[in-house]
Structure 1
């Protein structure tokens, strides 16, 4: 029975930590490190003397737990920032390496402020730009006359709008195919 109770207390503390651990750390730190006059005025002088080892253990465990939790949180924040930055750098590098044909597909979205363009279902360039996360299929419903509707990703539009020089050298638009706009 006692072990079940202890297990439930430990489980509750770990589930709701670091709040309780911070409280334990502050309280045990105050009891351990406060001046004797303050401890005596609080009536805790005897408790500090009799249970110094337990209070010190609680202080060390709570500080260790809070330190580990903080380090793990910082690791996650740094890793997320690094991953986001790396993904952004990869996307920007892909935009700098566009082929003339790919530039011709993206230019109307940016230079002519188009929202949707239509391409044939088997269009490899539109599919490649979609695979590079520059375009996305705006609908899974399409017809054979108009083609498949594609929109530009907001990050791609924003970056190309800020750097229109990346669209220089676009191939002239093809005269065949279903590349239509609305």
Structure 2
């Protein structure tokens, strides 16, 4: 018999884990506790409330506490996620401010020609580095005879580099091996 009672209580707790159920319990018990007497009398529940007031109050406090806790946890998770995303964006923008010559050459093509797609060698380490930092992404898996694949620039990088084209300025006297 004791196990049956525990099972029932466990099922009830699991049923009311959702914040919306907790809110409903808090709302109903709050109305029962704090409504003016004329409303309680018109509903005909004055005897019920006077007999079970302590249990209604405990139910109100527990459900309200859990509901507030659940909402707080949800809000904190959202805030943490937003902060994490903001950090990642600033980290990526910082990466764009410290590009190598080869990276500038690849990215300047997108901005100079106002295109979001460029065919590059799939074995190029510089391209793979830009993919790693989520600046570029592979937009096709088709490899042609020249061993090149289409790569697109990420929208955030496109917007940032269009706002800051000076980041792509290269020293004209610098030369590099032509494996791009």
TM-score above 0.5, yes or no = yes
TM class by smaller structure: 0.7 to 0.9
Count of paired positions: 176
Residue equivalent to 2:109:
108
Bigger relative CO (Cα 8 Å, ≥ 6 apart): 1
**CA RMSD of the aligned region, Å?**
2.4
Residue equivalent to 1:76:
77
Matches within 5 A, 1:41-52: 41-52=42-53
Distance 1:49 1:165, change over 3 A: same
Note the residue ranges of structure 1 that are not aligned, 5 or more in a row.
Answer: none
Residue equivalent to 2:32:
31
Distance 1:132 1:170 in 2: 24
Matches within 5 A, 1:25-174: 25-169=26-170
Residue equivalent to 2:22:
21
Note the residue ranges of structure 2 that are not aligned, 5 or more in a row.
Answer: none
Distance 2:126 2:8 in 1: 64
TM-score using structure 2 length: 0.84
Q: CA deviation at 1:36?
A: 2.9
Q: CA deviation at 1:92?
A: 0.6
